Chains A and B, each alone.
Chain A
Amino acid sequence: MHLVLFLIFAGLCLAGALNLLFQRHPINSALSLIVVMTSLAVLYLLLGAEFLALAQIIVYSGAIMVLFVFVIMLLNVGAEERTHGSRVAYLAGIPGVLALFAILASIFLSLTKNLGSAQLGGFIVSTSDLSRVLFRDLLLPFEVTSVLILVAILGAVVLARKEH
């Protein structure tokens, strides 16, 4: 059960990410990113993070990506063209990225025994557990992030406003 769900949604994640890479039009990239984020939410559920899974959908799929789609619609963005810069990026980037992935994957796979395995329901964090840590031990960082968000709102309004 766990394995089947993991394979389905990990496959969806990878397919979505690769589609993001290969699509020319930003709206297709945005939609494949939404697929990635929603499948990640299911993987979070498998890892017992129920609140985070739903927060992932609400915040990422439901708010951040809607903003992206909204901006793409608003600016009426067309498909991107290949330029000189992208050819350089292909030549230097693809081998570098493959090397990065190979190193990370080999490290993680060599640690397979030490890391053990994930069980369905092995470690479930309820919303109240999460909020207990967040609002007792980490209250100051939480308050600081609220200031961060306020600054971000002000910045967004100032930047996007039309100058008269």
Chain B
Amino acid sequence: MIPISWYLVLSAALFSIGVGAFLIKRNIISIFMSIELMLNAVNLAFVAFAHHWHQVSGQIFVFFVMVVAAAEAAVGLAIIIAVFRSRETLNVDQINLMKL
């Protein structure tokens, strides 16, 4: 017997850490990973609410989030590879020009 709110607090904590990592990290891959962490935190909240309302739809939401995250990871990592090819750096502070 665990209060649903504990799961939600855990999800909030993970989300906040994700936001913090997103702000602090300078490596573009690490920034991308903190986005994934935030998505995961939200997924936990969805599953906890699905448990509370006894509704399958909450889990379906998670399913779609996973699909979107997979698509996002594929495109995002391809962009990172393209950026690395042209700039030879992954530090976001140095990637500040729209065009070389």
- Tell whether, in the assembled complex, residue A153 and residue B74 are in contact, meaning their CB atoms are under 8 Å apart: yes
- Tell whether, in the assembled complex, residue A55 and residue B63 are in contact, meaning their CB atoms are under 8 Å apart: yes
- Tell whether, in the assembled complex, residue B92 and residue A112 are in contact, meaning their CB atoms are under 8 Å apart: no
A residues near B32, Cβ cutoff 8 Å: 68
How many residues of chain B have a CB within 8 Å of chain A?
A: 70
- Tell whether, in the assembled complex, residue A116 and residue B37 are in contact, meaning their CB atoms are under 8 Å apart: no
The one of A14, A48, A80, A116 that contacts B13, using a Cβ cutoff of 8 Å: A14
Count the A-B residue pairs with Cβ separation under 8 angstroms: how many? 244
- Tell whether, in the assembled complex, residue B12 and residue A152 are in contact, meaning their CB atoms are under 8 Å apart: no
Main secondary structure, interface of A, reads helix
A residues near B85, Cβ cutoff 8 Å: 162
Cα-based distance from A43 to B43 in the complex (angstroms): 11
Q: How would residues 110 to 141 of chain A score, 1 for a CB under 8 Å from any chain B CB and 0 otherwise?
A: 01100111110011010001100110001001
- Tell whether, in the assembled complex, residue A40 and residue B78 are in contact, meaning their CB atoms are under 8 Å apart: no
Cα-based distance from A73 to B83 in the complex (angstroms): 16
A104 CB within 8 Å of chain B = yes
Q: How would residues 6 to 38 of chain B score, 1 for a CB under 8 Å from any chain A CB and 0 otherwise?
A: 111110111111111101111101101110110
- Tell whether, in the assembled complex, residue A134 and residue B63 are in contact, meaning their CB atoms are under 8 Å apart: yes
Q: What is A's interface to B at a CB cutoff of 8 Å?
A: 2-3, 6, 10, 13-14, 17-18, 20-21, 26, 29-30, 33, 36-37, 40, 43-44, 47-49, 51-52, 55-56, 59-60, 63-64, 67-68, 71-72, 74-75, 77, 80-86, 89-90, 92-94, 96-98, 100-101, 104-105, 108-109, 111-112, 115-119, 122-123, 125, 129-130, 133-134, 138, 141, 145, 148-149, 151-153, 155-160, 162
